[in-house]
A = this chain, B = another copy of it.
Amino acid sequence: MSLTVVGSMAFDDIETPFGKSDKIVGGAATYIAWCASNFTPVNQISVVGGDFPAGELDALSARGVNLEGVQVKKDEKSFYWAGRYHMDMNTRDTLVTELNVLGTFQPVVPESYQDCEFLMLGNLAPSVQLSVIDQLRHKPKLIVIDTMNFWMDIALEDLKKVLAKVDVLLVNDSEARQLSGEYSLVKAAAVITRMGPRFLIIKKGEHGALLFHGNHVFFAPALPLEEVFDPTGAGDTFAGGFIGHLARTKDISFENMKTAIIVGSAMASFCVEKFGTQRLREISRPDIDERIRQFVELVNFDISLV
């Protein structure tokens, strides 16, 4: 087994201009696992409370997600987040954050996960992410990390320690600007890749994603959709598609990373069509192939006509 995923498994309560989800299953590692398991088996590391539905764990297990690294704290509650999206779906207000089991999370890497080739560190405290890297006896072939402005605000030194040990960083455009102190994303990429990660992916939501590596840059659009119903988890789903494709093909060339970003974008375009992980549970490989074909049509042009 080659892909290990670390992150939250939680409850979300989401309000968008189109409706309310009520309390549903969410969390970065949940989205990543639902998505990446389309491409490769997953070794999951997370923590949940006694309130987390057994059916959800069974469903993931049935898809090839190994839950040996998921701690279940029977007498505690799962992480809970409630938020409300604005009309543009790019900005949101947090209404409630209850850390619960996540507040004291100390991940333990099971012995059976030690052969990890691909490590996906979902958004978590940098010290927790670092602890997982440090528990691995062999450096994985590729470490991908997601983070957010919150950790830049309160744990920047820890974050810098993690960045020095990873290969790919995923952030959004405003986070890239905050981390680098540069407004231009091209300049921001130059600064950030000097902090450690050789590859930087800047997610721009409905405006697509950029991949920077040395002097190379690749751009993948988001699929123009009639409705973005719920953007929650889109970034995690993108990460799951990206690392899932890389783990399946075991090819970490820049060329294959470009394809991985298209796969991630295609998967994220499903995620936003319904609340939570619902759409990810419905789709099958032919749906994914058809969606990727739409991306080819979206960007393909005939250079011979120039």
Interface residues of A (CB under 8 A from B): 87-88, 183-187, 204, 207-208, 210, 216-221, 224-228, 245, 249, 251, 255-256, 258-259, 261-263, 289, 292, 296-303, 305-306
Contacts and interface: CB of A to CB of B under 8 A. Distances in A.
A180 to B, nearest CB: 13
B259 A306 contact: yes
Indicate how many identical chains form the complex. 2
Contacts of A245: 306
Contacts of A186: 224-226
Given A262-B301, A263-B306, A301-B262, A187 B226 contact: yes
A87 B221 contact: no
B258 A218 contact: no
Contact of A184 (B208, B225, B258, B302): B225
Contacts of A263: 306
Nearest to A256: B305
19 contacts: A87-B183, A184-B227, A185-B224, A187-B226, A208-B219, A217-B298, A218-B297, A218-B299, A219-B224, A219-B299, A249-B305, A251-B305, A255-B301, A258-B300, A259-B301, A262-B301, A262-B306, A289-B306, A296-B303
Contacts of A292: 303, 306
A300 B219 CA distance: 9
Contacts of A306: 245, 259, 262-263, 289, 292
A261 B303 CA distance: 12
The 5 residue pairs across chains A and B that have the minimum distance between CB atoms: A207-B207, A259-B305, A258-B301, A219-B221, A299-B299
A218 B303 contact: no
A292 B306 CA distance: 8
A306 B87 CA distance: 34
A221 B208 contact: yes
A259 B303 contact: yes
Contacts of A227: 184
Contacts of A216: 297
A262 B261 CA distance: 21
Contacts of A225: 184, 186
Contacts of A204: 207
A224 B210 contact: yes
A297 B216 CA distance: 9
Contacts of A228: 184
A7 to B, nearest CB: 25
Given A220-B301, A255-B301, A258-B301, 11 more contacts: A184-B225, A186-B224, A207-B207, A208-B219, A219-B224, A219-B299, A221-B221, A256-B305, A259-B302, A262-B301, A292-B306
Nearest to A301: B258
Contacts of A262: 301, 306
Contacts of A210: 224
